[in-house]
Amino acid sequence: MLKFPGKTAFPTRDELGIARPAWPDPSDAKRAAQWLIEARNPVIYCGTAGRNAEAVGEILRLAEIARLAGE
């Protein structure tokens, strides 16, 4: 390896635009749950999650919990 002339600085995580973790911040999840509970006609958009058979059960469970909490 050849030395690079001058000073080298690597970009920070924020400068690279690295995505946030795949799981929500607990306060964000609580806010989303509250929106589902309070909605008159709640809708859950799943994207491609419906293609995964294991995810379908969890989505159904979320819908049932939101329905029961709103009663």
pLDDT digits 0-9 by tens, 12-21? 877 887 776 7
The confidence score (pLDDT) of residue 1 equals: 67
Whole-number mean pLDDT of the chain?
Answer: 82
Whole-number Å distance between alpha carbons of 55 and 61: 10
Report yes or no: 36 and 30 within 8 Å, Cβ to Cβ: no
Amino acid, res. 62:
L
Below-70 pLDDT ranges, the chain: 1, 20
pTM of the model: 0.54
Write the CB contacts of 31 (distance below 8 Å, at least 6 apart in sequence): none
